[in-house]
Structure 1
Amino acid sequence: MRDFGHHVGEDTEIYFSLYDSGKQKYLTERFLVKISKEGFSNYIEKLHSNCTVFTDLGNSDLNKDVYLVAHIMRIGKMLYSDSSKKTDKAVNQTQVFKRPHGVAVQNLGDYLASKESDNEEKEFSMKVYQVEEKDFHQLHEFIIRQSGKFSALSTHINYGVIFSVKMLHGELRTIREENPLLFKNVSLTSKLGFPDVIMPGDVRNDLYLFLDKGEFERGGKSTGKNIEVTVVVLDSEKNVIKNCLWGASGMEGVSEYNSMIIYHHNSPAWAENVRLTLPIDKFAGAHVRLEYRHCSTREKSDKKLFGFSFLRLMDKDGAAVQDGQHELYIYKCEDTQKLENCGYLSLPAFAKDYEGNHEASGQFSRSHKEMISVKTLLCSTKLTQNVDLLALLRWKSHPERIQESLQRVLRLGDEELIKFLQDVLDALFALFSTEDGNSTAHSGLVFHVLVSIFNLLDGSKYQHFKPVMDAYIKNHFAAALVYKGLLTSVQHCADWVVSFEKQEPIQKCFKSLEYIFKLIIQSRLLFSRATGGTFEDSFRRDLFNVFTSLNKMLTINDNHIINTQVALLLAVSSVYEQLTEVIPTIEVTKLAGSMVDALPSQLPSILVQAKLSCIKNLVTSKLFQDDESRNILLVTACKHLKFHLTRREELKLCTDILGEILGFLYKQRKYHDEQGKINNCIHHDVDTLCTAVLEVLIQTILTIIDKDVKVFGCLVACLIGTLQLLDEFHYKRLWEVLMGPHQDRKPLKDFLLRAFLVFRNLVRMEVFPPDWLVIKMLTNNVILKALQEFAQPLAFKFLDCRAGYFDKE
């Protein structure tokens, strides 16, 4: 805030918050700027006192309906006319009240949508309006919608609240480092809720209490009461928890929070929110007490207590108070000392409070015609409101409810599961198998819950928790026998796939194979260390049986399971590298090759894409870096590439795979050339690639050369890359393969003719953009060298009259 143009004559508090008019809800907690009665220009003592950063806001929050709302409160006498008199006298603190004064709003939607929000600070000025006090809680809506009776606080055009805004993008920690001066002692104003992405290590433990509205009896008076609500929090020992209440950021924590007062009104609406920040160990047994006092306008009168309400922060099962609205009972009490021992805790706090005794009367009687409505919102990474989650975490206390608890956990909100990830996983693995590794009555359902959690981690909101999951598996996971049950569960999914009407659970299982196998492997490693590597044959048999079942599932031609087969092919590549920790790399490679080969030749397009994506993942994996494994994978990849290039299927994916292979082989050969060494494996791999795909690559290019196909340039690049790798030996091998054991010259002749046609067209055509000079020169150079090699069979197999090979065609 840069300036406040109104001279109130009393201390003033301005509460800023962001508001979404479309959803009619506040996005953030409030930020407080205090102004002394001398005015704003005399108040600025600290540079940060009038500046805040609203944090954790996502793209969905910052839309065209976002407004900055400023609630202006007067801190002084009950009546404004009184406050302007005798201001030089000492103020009686019992006669200082928070009173509504005005509201200002400014739409930020246009600014947020514009490019200037990315780099420039922009200044705004907003007018302050007033309304009847009973409608003060909704004045911001009146102004936004231009409805209701309200008027400007001042007709002077320059009067109002002047503030500036600047958008800061990125993670808070990074922004702090980039803007150290901006963040020096600045207040952070939190979002009412969690950010779009919850980061590992995020710690928050805030409970927001919204004072909504109340209904109070007149009490025999002709006019309404001036009601002030005092909020206090007491622990299990019935002691007030000190400095745990924040009416806004930018202020110090207080032990008591006092609401604003609506003058002479028995149905006040406050719309104030208070943040409760308690130590985690204080929540159990703690409660909030709301005390109601009538505040007289007489100078020497104290505030008079006439009732109270309370709300427990945690139930007997350990679940935190539920989010949402609570209509609290109001109990009569005029003596503060009666509240000191908290004898009311045996009473119900609201209608459905099952912890209170509804029959009890005691020293407090309920005012049946009175009530107060409050709302609560928990933003905590430490506490849960969910009794189902608590039931799972405490399953040993009620073993008869385990099945029911697991069913309910499947319906839990994702935030709850992620917040308590480690504790949930520990409980699930304890339920998954017995101490000797056998399955339990709950194993199937536990596996279902595990798969649901792993699928959550694949979502963008929780992808940052993947390292947390990896750290759990590596450092904390201790279930050395669950690998048996996990392998069996995956095999059952593959064996029963056709019999399942709903494929989603099985698809989720296959999408989660990365984490399932991480757990299997870690479990097996723990077991091997504990037993000296016993039962190795049994583990290998179980593992290979799983892959046999998966391969069998891929052979099934059924439209009902196509998406399930796709899910397996897209996810299984992540498993192979992990398996090298427990079985030799060459055996893992054979498993990978056999799975790709298990697919039928006639496939729908979606399965062809999945198969080729799987192959691409394999040729970019660590398996491909092992010489022996690469030879197996290359043979498999080339076989399938040749098949699909011949059929002109998924050419883009085929060129992507070829590009990865060529790139790897080129880098390896260059590296060994620089070392002055010859790598026979790389030499052999180039031979495998050349003899398998060069002919079909040239055929494919010739077929689509006169068509407007986007992938044409990629195919040409693959052809040039392949030819670039060939030496004299590879060309001789190519001619031998083309002619076959019977020295048939026709296949060789057809190949040469197609190659010459392709080369001629490539020289004439503009395959690459005009400014790609280097690749054009490289292409011409590679073609020239290839023609020198192609001239050898042309001369000796078709132009040699002495050998009887002259071919007139």
Structure 2
Amino acid sequence: MVDPEGMSLVELFHVHAASSENLQGVSVSARGTIKKRELKKILTHHLYFCMRDFGHHIGEDTETYFSLYDCKKQKYISERFLVKISKEGFSNYVDKLHNNCTIFTDLGNDDLSKDIYLVAHVMRIGKMLYSESSKKTEKNTFSSQQVYKRPHGVAIHDLKEVLLNKNDSEEKELTLKVYQGEEKDFHQLHESLIRQSGKYSALSCQPNYGIIVSMKMYHGQLSQIKEDNPLLFKNVSLTNKLGFPDVIMPGDVRNDLYLTVERGEFERGGKSTGKNIEVTILVLDSEKNLLKNCLWGASGLDGTSEYNSMIIYHHNSPAWAENVRLTLPIDKFAGAHVRLEFRHCSTREKNDKKLFGFSFIRLMDKDGAAVPDGLHELYIYKCEDHQKLDNCGYLSLPAYQKDYEGNHEAIGAFSRSHKEIVCIRTLLCSTKLTQNVDLLSLLRWKSHPERIQDSLQRVLRLGDEELVKFLQDVLDALFALFSTEDGNSTDYSGLVFHVLVSIFSLLDESKFQFFKPVLDAYIKDHFSAALVYKGLLTSVQHCADHVQAFDKQEPIQKCFKSLEYIFKLIIQSRLLFSRATCGQYEDSFRRDLYNVFSSLNKMLSISSSIITPTQVALLHSISAVYEQLVDVLPVIEVTKLASSMLDSFFPKDVPLALIQAKLIAIKNIVSTKLFQDDESRNILLTNACRHLCYYFTYRIELTLCTDILGEILSFLFRQRQLSEKQEKVNNCIHHDIDTLNISIFQVLIDT
């Protein structure tokens, strides 16, 4: 409900128009047009998952791994989530409350429109070969037998109905049927099921029964969903997206390296049958000590010190495709490496698993860059004695063909098996580590000053996420390079300004919109470059003075679009300098500031279709600059600057885009602090009325003009209400209304 007495006529009309639009939306589509409109603004989504029942009798303990899979790109988009089931059945296994539920986090809008499938991999945990006949002797001998992870079956389900479900209040129940195929094809059985091709058969169970799950979508920031649904999150694990979400929140801390053991090629070794190969993954630090509890084979588990893969029976070219998350403290990453140990597992139950080789990969190179994303073909070195691995003597050897940190000519205790290889895939999701040597060279510019120019050029080509993740460190480095200690420019000032503008432009993208408060906090609390205001003013003026000399207008447009943050830095820098010197060089600062606005006004007066988009960019962003300037200039001076810019070009023979931009600038200025000051408002109102009168007369952009007039009237209405509440007479308000009537009233009647 609204109070019509407390609102201006214009505001009341806007409420009515919005209400009418919403009612039309409901009548057009009873299925929820309004909801759909709201969802467009939501950038992050989360999928609640719960396994309700497991309708298969395996005979041994079972591990079922659930993950989300993009069938078009043929890749998983989430970690795996594990539900354990005892051999007695699903209902008899209760490890802890909600161990069968998770939330797949951080799905983006694009993910909702993709062909996403839920994929379940069912693993049998027990003997190498299981049969019902061996079950009778199991009770007496099982404790002394080796336990293996063996592939059993795969189930899939298309999630389109769940992801696009309009009724968010209800969980959707799904039934997944489990299928079996040849063991060697287990890693790609889900693809065969999606395409409905290849050899596979359904696992026996009751009709229309299988793995029963329920799922439900949640929309918005995870922190808010947790607050709204505290019981839902109690003891429920989170299953992360592989990669960063569409919206990266400031304060998000993540330091995960995903390692997927893809496949291997092994020699038969004189045997008539293939090996039963198990891969053991472990992580060792720079001191060659085992890092404990840093490996997660899936969410829903506690961290372990080593991870054991499944075993493909009698196969020398096994494909595992198992994903493991490594989560290490940041200080442990440098010097750490992953070791993969390969063992043959005999079908004779009491035999130990026999080590026959190993591979390794360093997590960071000597320059401090983390292992790059992608596929790595690792060498396999022969070793049958585990004690030989204890001192990590193999670290002097190359891990793969292009490993330049290992000595390819070295002859040591380990010989390489030239016909054997293992392929792994890595993906880094870290807000603390970078894989980019270009970014590292910028952050460590003092170590190699001769590379600064090249580093800055390379940073311009960096991925968006890398720059935003290290925003504070990057900005510190850039301002150190921007000017000398006495405030003079350096050889790199122009290039640094270019990089700064590129960073500010990134923050306009929806993915990084939440980082604007981070930049504000940096400027307010951390920024300390008290002399950079000189160089920043010069850079902006240079862009305005030489706008016609630039072949490409995009860099200049980015500069003008970023003026809000450029001027926040200018003003904070000037305030820091003023406090430190008791206001020295105030006249010089003002002169430089006025010179900048003089150049901007001249640029706006140029008639050229090439620079029109650049002029539009300036007018769209300039009102935010006036808000900043009142901290260093009297309000009336800022108002005169604003008025002068609005008058910098005559309306006649001007492109429509520029007229629209000027009117938007006027509308934005009406909402600034300038309009709240009585003396400033008198100047701005007179100026605005002159422009509105012209556009009303010639019937140009009438909608925008009436919007501006509505903003002015609403403001004056609120000011009058405030005066009445305080029982004061504000003569300025009456004068402003007279100005409006004299300037606009007759024109409105004629129009």
TM-score (norm 1): 0.85
**Superposition deviation, residue 93 in structure 1:** 6.0
Matching residue of 1:623: 674
Matching residue of 2:452: 402
Q: Is the aligned partner of 1:374 residue 2:424? A: yes
**Superposition deviation, residue 667 in structure 1:** 1.7
Q: 1:257 aligns with which of 280, 301, 307?
A: 307
**Superposition deviation, residue 34 in structure 1:** 0.6
Whole-angstrom distance in 2 between the partners of 1:637 and 1:447: 34
1:430 counterpart SS class: helix
One-letter amino acid matched to 2:616: V
Whole-angstrom distance in 2 between the partners of 1:163 and 1:457: 40
Matching residue of 2:567: 517
Contact 1:64 1:108 in 2 (8 A): no
Runs of 4+ more than 4 Å apart: none
Change (3 A) 1:547 1:94: farther
Alpha-carbon displacement from aligned partner over 1:592-636 (angstroms, at most 9, x marks no partner): 000010012221110000000000011111100000100110011
Matching residue of 2:635: 585
Contact 1:94 1:302 in 2 (8 A): no
**Superposition deviation, residue 61 in structure 1:** 1.3
Contact 1:64 1:113 in 2 (8 A): no
**Superposition deviation, residue 159 in structure 1:** 3.9
Q: Is the aligned partner of 1:289 residue 2:339? A: yes
Matching residue of 1:487: 537
Q: 1:643 aligns with which of 689, 694, 715?
A: 694
Q: Is the aligned partner of 1:659 residue 2:710? A: yes
**Superposition deviation, residue 92 in structure 1:** 4.4
1:298-447 alignment runs, 5 A limit: 298-447=348-497
**Superposition deviation, residue 675 in structure 1:** 3.2
Whole-angstrom distance in 1 between the partners of 2:104 and 2:726: 57
Whole-angstrom distance in 2 between the partners of 1:654 and 1:83: 86
Q: Is the aligned partner of 1:696 residue 2:747? A: yes
Stretch deviating more after TM superposition (39-48 or 268-277): 39-48
Whole-angstrom distance in 2 between the partners of 1:683 and 1:348: 83
Whole-angstrom distance in 1 between the partners of 2:234 and 2:141: 36
TM-score (norm 2): 0.92
Matching residue of 1:209: 259
One-letter amino acid matched to 1:27: I
Q: 1:47 aligns with which of 86, 97, 101?
A: 97
Contact 1:410 1:449 in 2 (8 A): yes
Alpha-carbon displacement from aligned partner over 1:736-790 (angstroms, at most 9, x marks no partner): xxxxxxxxxxxxxxxxxxxxxxxxxxxxxxxxxxxxxxxxxxxxxxxxxxxxxxx
Matching residue of 1:70: 120
Root-mean-square deviation (CA, aligned residues, Å) is: 1.1
Alpha-carbon displacement from aligned partner over 1:538-594 (angstroms, at most 9, x marks no partner): 000000000000000001001110000000000111000111111111000000000
Whole-angstrom distance in 1 between the partners of 2:695 and 2:134: 87
Q: 1:500 aligns with which of 550, 557, 566?
A: 550
Contact 1:11 1:34 in 2 (8 A): yes
Contact 1:12 1:74 in 2 (8 A): yes
1:55-204 alignment runs, 5 A limit: 55-63=105-113, 65-81=115-131, 84-92=135-143, 95-116=146-167, 118-154=168-204, 156-204=206-254
Contact 2:55 2:205 in 1 (8 A): no
Whole-angstrom distance in 2 between the partners of 1:84 and 1:145: 36
One-letter amino acid matched to 1:312: R
Whole-angstrom distance in 2 between the partners of 1:533 and 1:482: 16
Whole-angstrom distance in 2 between the partners of 1:343 and 1:439: 51
Unaligned residue ranges in structure 2 (runs of 5+)? 1-50
Change (3 A) 1:109 1:440: same
Contact 1:102 1:130 in 2 (8 A): yes
Q: Is the aligned partner of 1:475 residue 2:528? A: no
One-letter amino acid matched to 1:268: P
Larger radius of gyration: 1
One-letter amino acid matched to 2:701: E
Contact 2:267 2:316 in 1 (8 A): yes
Whole-angstrom distance in 1 between the partners of 2:294 and 2:113: 33
Aligned residues: 699
Whole-angstrom distance in 1 between the partners of 2:683 and 2:136: 95
Q: 2:291 aligns with which of 223, 241, 247?
A: 241
1:2 counterpart SS class: strand
Stretch deviating more after TM superposition (643-652 or 77-86): 77-86
Indicate the structure whose relative CO is greater, using CA pairs within 8 Å and at least 6 residues apart: 2
1:415 counterpart SS class: helix
**Superposition deviation, residue 113 in structure 1:** 2.1
One-letter amino acid matched to 2:673: K
Whole-angstrom distance in 1 between the partners of 2:145 and 2:607: 83
Alpha-carbon displacement from aligned partner over 1:468-526 (angstroms, at most 9, x marks no partner): 10110011000000000000000000000001110000000000000000000000000
Alpha-carbon displacement from aligned partner over 1:140-173 (angstroms, at most 9, x marks no partner): 1111110000011116414411111111222111
**Superposition deviation, residue 122 in structure 1:** 1.5
Matching residue of 1:717: none
One-letter amino acid matched to 1:645: F
Stretch deviating more after TM superposition (38-47 or 380-389): 38-47
Alpha-carbon displacement from aligned partner over 1:74-106 (angstroms, at most 9, x marks no partner): 001101227534121242466110000001111
Matching residue of 1:713: none
One-letter amino acid matched to 2:690: K
Contact 2:179 2:202 in 1 (8 A): yes
Matching residue of 2:32: none
One-letter amino acid matched to 1:505: P
Q: Percent identity?
A: 77
Whole-angstrom distance in 1 between the partners of 2:169 and 2:125: 37
Change (3 A) 1:64 1:319: closer
**Superposition deviation, residue 137 in structure 1:** 0.3
1:678 counterpart SS class: coil
Q: Is the aligned partner of 1:678 residue 2:729? A: yes
Q: Is the aligned partner of 1:458 residue 2:508? A: yes
Contact 1:64 1:110 in 2 (8 A): no
Q: Is the aligned partner of 1:527 residue 2:577? A: yes
**Superposition deviation, residue 685 in structure 1:** 1.0
Whole-angstrom distance in 2 between the partners of 1:130 and 1:616: 66
**Superposition deviation, residue 182 in structure 1:** 1.5
Unaligned residue ranges in structure 1 (runs of 5+)? 701-809
Whole-angstrom distance in 2 between the partners of 1:244 and 1:165: 29
One-letter amino acid matched to 2:418: H
Contact 1:77 1:83 in 2 (8 A): no
Q: 1:551 aligns with which of 577, 586, 601?
A: 601
**Superposition deviation, residue 665 in structure 1:** 1.0
2:379 counterpart SS class: strand
Whole-angstrom distance in 1 between the partners of 2:145 and 2:110: 45
**Superposition deviation, residue 267 in structure 1:** 0.3
Matching residue of 1:790: none
Whole-angstrom distance in 1 between the partners of 2:212 and 2:386: 43
One-letter amino acid matched to 1:658: L
Matching residue of 1:762: none
Alpha-carbon displacement from aligned partner over 1:268-324 (angstroms, at most 9, x marks no partner): 000110000111110000000000000001122111111000010011111111111
One-letter amino acid matched to 2:504: F
Contact 1:3 1:161 in 2 (8 A): yes
